[in-house]
């Protein structure tokens, strides 16, 4: 829109303030994310002691080789993956479904919308306690209601086999609204004329969805899913409240493990190693997923 | 056809119950006495127990709740204001000028800013702990404010850029001819025309900062602790006092719930704006 200014002294006098607009942001990012990131990587090759002043010494690849054989680390990775895959899948199916229902100009639509978005805004720590009460073995309403159906009380949070389920439920509770919001917004800008045309051609509702709505909204779906995957990998607060990573290490995610090792056992360097390895895993996951998605959509476009 | 509609409403209502019930349960539990909690589940005030506001009075007196509330408020509010300032400057720059830093053009810079959120906070926070330890700002509000600014910046830049893109440039060009600087143009002309965008970004950042847990957990341990930490550490007591925790939870949730209800009329619009872009 804005045309290039003619060459001359004007350019030099304006270029400086132009770059200045980005300056504070770049400084903050360099100081608070880029530098700490490099620092964390450096820490993985050291040994840190905080007793009696800060003391850092070289330690080689000791922690990295320790990490490869650390069953607790790989356990945490598999736990994190399990939570991410189950939660995001459920969130997408439910969120998209609700968005589709509310899209069809149903009565009370805006009333439902307001309520459906609320969980996103609420403090996870506080909500975590609420769910912990709901899942409580003897005093919680969930087992109370199941009791009416003659189902014996289930020790949701204290059994290593079931403890991951409440965590997924809470994540779904809190973040389905996000997918709902994105898909609902995407549906609002969906060209209605296309659907009218398909309907006139006699297409059934199911065909309209699978041949028209779903493919056209695919980019929005992918974006929503990606954002959720990346955010879900960071999960820690509701776990701290619900199970504290237990029983044993059955719900210990990698972020929680890095925190436990780095700041509870005060092995900062090993905590940093876990965090760095975790970041690599997240990036790798996203890159692989993007590759798969591009290949799938690429080949379907060619077909 | 009718049956389908009824099924839809059943689905919508079931999800509504699922959404509302945990919030309801927290509010209800905060009104219970110890005896009403520990024996079995009780569902409704005035029906199967008598509500009381005693728990609120107790947590206010015993837990020094005021301090935590103040920390939360100061940290979220100041970080949000600074993030808005810095973020709108950057968003304006990215919207109006073409930059070139090495190989990076506007699009790359924008993506770089957004991608900052991809990094799990645990990666930077351990290093930040050591850094802040070295410059002696651990357990201060400043430490929280600095980190909150950083994690809110990508959202501000993303939102503000989509709003600024909608503003026509003609007035700005006129102002420029009159000799106004870029900062004057931004603050006097552009920002006043996108007040809804500023409000939306403000509320969103406030909510994120208020709810933040991990940074506060690692970077503070006493003086600067925030509300989520006060709630979280109720866990470590011998017997969990659910009634007190619920009262604290309600206190923690109330401000964000109110902010959110203010925000919700902008929600859909700004999502559509942001989404139309990419």
| Domain assignment of residue B10, given as a range | 1-52
Tell me the nearest-neighbour CA distance from B13 into chain A, angstroms: 9
**Of the candidate ranges A273-277, B19-23, B158-162, B172-176, the one whose mean pLDDT is the lowest:** B172-176
Q: How confident is the model at residue A199 (pLDDT cuts 50, 70, 90)?
A: confident
**Residue B165's domain is classified under what CATH number?**
1.10.3720.10
Mention every residue, 6+ apart, whose C-beta is less than 8 A from residue A41. Answer: A272, A276
* pLDDT score at B17: 92
Percent of chain B's residues with pLDDT above 90: 32
On whether residue B172 sits in a domain, the answer given is yes
Q: Is B218 on the interface with A (CB under 8 A)?
A: yes
User: What span, in angstroms and rounded, lies between the C-alpha atoms of A7 and A178?
Assistant: 48
pLDDT band for position A299 (cuts 50, 70, 90): low
Inside any domain, residue B58: no
Stretch B83-111: mean pLDDT? 88
Q: Phi and psi (nearest 5°) for A203?
A: -75, 140
Pair B6, B126 in one domain = no
Write down the mean pLDDT value for chain B.
Answer: 85
Instruction: Answer yes or no: is pLDDT of B236 > 80.
Output: no
* Residue B187 maps to a domain: yes
Same domain, B33 and B102: no
- The residue count of chain B comes to 278
Give A299→chain B minimum CA distance, Å: 22
Residues from chain B that touch A113, judged by Cβ atoms under 8 A, are: 268
Q: How high is the pLDDT of residue A217?
A: 87
- Residue A301 in this model has a pLDDT that exceeds 80: no
Query: ipTM beyond 0.95?
Result: no
A-chain CB neighbours of B41 within 8 Å are 139-141, 144
**pTM for the whole thing?**
0.87
Q: What pLDDT, on a 0 to 100 scale, did the predictor assign at position B268?
A: 66
Percentage, residues of chain B above pLDDT 70: 94
Comparison of pLDDT for A97 and A104, the residue scoring more: A97
DSSP letters spanning chain A = -PPPPPSSHHHHHHHHHHHHTTHHHHHHHIIIIIHHHHHHHHHTTEEEE-TTS-EEEE-TTHHHHHHHT-HHHHHHHHHHHHHHHHHHHHHHHHHHHHHHHHHTT-TTHHHHHHHHHGGGGS-HHHHHHHHHHHT-TTT-HHHHHHHHTTPPP--TTTSTTTTHHHHHHHHHHHHHHHHHHHHHHHHHTS-HHHHHHHHHTT--HHHIIIIIIHHHHHHHHHHHHHHHHHHHTT--HHHHHHTTT-STTTT--HHHHHHIIIIIS--HHHHHHHHHHHHHHHHHHHHHHHHHHHHHHHHHHH-
Q: Supply the pLDDT for residue A11.
A: 41
Q: What is the pLDDT of residue B51?
A: 79
**Number of domains chain B is built from:** 2
* Co-location of B5 and B86 in the same domain: no
B267:A117 CB<8 A: yes
Chain A residues whose beta carbon lies within 8 Å of the beta carbon of residue B119: 33, 37, 279
Contact between B123 and A116 using a beta-carbon 8 Å cutoff:
no
B43, B124: one domain: no
| Residue B183 sits in the same domain as residue B120 | yes
Asked whether residue B140 falls in the same domain as residue B253, the answer is: yes
Pick from A50-59, A181-190, B127-136 the range whose average pLDDT is largest: B127-136
- Domain annotation covers residue B59: no
Same domain? For B180 and B259 the reply is yes
Count A/B contacts: CB-CB distance under 8 Å. 273
Contacts of B127 in chain A (CB under 8 A): 35-37, 39-40, 43, 272
Per-residue model confidence as pLDDT tens digits over A1-37: 444 444 333 343 455 577 888 889 999 999 999 999 9
Cα distances (angstroms) measured from residue B213 to each of A12, B121, B229: 45, 11, 7
Residue B57 lies in a domain: no
For A118-175, the pLDDT digits (tens) are 998 899 999 998 898 888 877 778 888 888 887 777 888 888 888 899 999 999 999 9
Q: Do A97 and B11 touch (CB under 8 A)?
A: yes
Residue-level pLDDT at A52: 67
Please indicate whether, in this complex, the C-beta atoms of B120 and A275 are within 8 angstroms of each other.
Answer: yes
User: How far is residue B206's CA from residue B198's CA, in Å, rounded to a whole number?
Assistant: 12
* Span A46-82, pLDDT tens digits: 888 777 667 778 888 888 988 899 989 999 999 999 9
Please give the pLDDT value at position A229. Answer: 92
* Half-sphere exposure at residue A59, Cβ-oriented, CA atoms within 13 angstroms: 22
CATH number of A75-254: 1.10.3720.10
Q: Is residue B136 part of a domain?
A: yes
pLDDT the model gives residue A13: 47
């Amino acid at each position: 829109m804005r045309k290039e200014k003619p060459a001359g002294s004007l350019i030099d006098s304006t270029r400086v303030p132009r770059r200045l607009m980005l300056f504070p942001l770049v400084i903050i990012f360099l100081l608070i994310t880029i530098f700490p990131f490099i620092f964390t990587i450096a820490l993985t090759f050291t040994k840190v002691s905080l007793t009696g002043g800060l003391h850092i010494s070289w330690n080689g690849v000791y922690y990295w080789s320790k990490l490869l054989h650390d069953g607790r680390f790989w356990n945490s990775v598999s736990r994190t993956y399990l939570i991410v895959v189950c939660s995001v899948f459920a969130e997408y199916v439910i969120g998209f479904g609700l968005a589709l229902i509310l899209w069809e100009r149903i009565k009370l639509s805006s009333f439902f919308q307001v309520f459906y978005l609320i969980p996103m805004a609420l403090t996870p720590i506080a909500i975590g306690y609420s769910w912990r009460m709901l899942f409580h073995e003897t005093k919680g309403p969930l087992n109370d209601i199941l009791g009416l159906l003659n189902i014996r009380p289930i020790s949701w949070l204290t059994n290593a086999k079931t403890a991951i389920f409440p965590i997924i439920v809470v994540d779904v509770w809190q973040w389905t609204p996000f997918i709902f919001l994105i898909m609902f917004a995407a549906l609002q800008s969906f060209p209605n004329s296309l659907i009218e045309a398909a309907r006139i051609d006699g297409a059934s509702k199911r065909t309209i969805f699978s041949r028209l709505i779903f493919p056209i909204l695919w980019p929005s779906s992918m974006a929503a899913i990606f954002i959720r995957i990346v955010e879900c990998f960071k999960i820690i607060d509701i776990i701290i409240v619900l199970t504290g990573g237990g029983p044993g290490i059955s719900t210990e995610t990698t972020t929680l493990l890095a925190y436990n090792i780095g700041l509870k056992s005060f092995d900062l360097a090993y905590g940093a190693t876990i965090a760095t390895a975790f970041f690599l895993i997240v990036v790798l996951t996203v890159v692989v997923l993007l590759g798969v998605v591009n290949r799938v959509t690429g080949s379907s476009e060619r077909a | 056809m009718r049956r389908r509609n009824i099924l839809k409403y059943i689905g919508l209502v079931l999800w509504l119950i699922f959404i509302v019930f945990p919030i309801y349960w927290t509010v209800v539990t905060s009104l219970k006495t110890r005896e009403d909690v520990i024996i079995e589940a009780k569902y409704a005030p005035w029906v199967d127990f008598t509500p009381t506001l005693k728990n609120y009075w107790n947590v206010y007196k015993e837990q020094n709740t005021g301090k935590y509330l103040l920390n939360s408020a100061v940290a979220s509010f100041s970080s949000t204001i600074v993030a808005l300032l810095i973020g709108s400057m950057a968003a304006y720059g990215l919207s109006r000028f073409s930059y070139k830093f090495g190989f990076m053009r506007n699009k790359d810079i924008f993506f770089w800013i957004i991608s900052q959120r991809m990094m799990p906070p645990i990666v930077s926070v351990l290093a930040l702990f050591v850094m802040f330890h070295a410059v002696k700002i651990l357990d201060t509000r400043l430490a929280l404010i600095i980190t909150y600014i950083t994690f809110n910046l990508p959202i501000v830049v993303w939102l503000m850029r989509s709003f600024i893109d909608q503003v026509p440039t003609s007035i700005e060009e006129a102002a420029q001819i009159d000799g106004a600087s870029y900062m004057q143009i931004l603050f006097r002309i552009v920002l006043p025309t996108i007040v809804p965008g500023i409000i939306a970004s403000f509320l969103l950042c406030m909510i994120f900062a208020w709810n933040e847990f991990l940074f506060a957990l690692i970077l503070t341990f006493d003086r600067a602790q925030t509300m989520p930490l006060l709630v979280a550490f109720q866990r470590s007591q011998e017997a969990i006092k659910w009634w007190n925790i619920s009262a604290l939870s309600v206190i923690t949730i109330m401000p964000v719930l109110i902010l959110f209800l203010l925000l919700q009329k902008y929600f859909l619009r700004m999502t559509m704006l942001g989404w139309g872009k990419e």
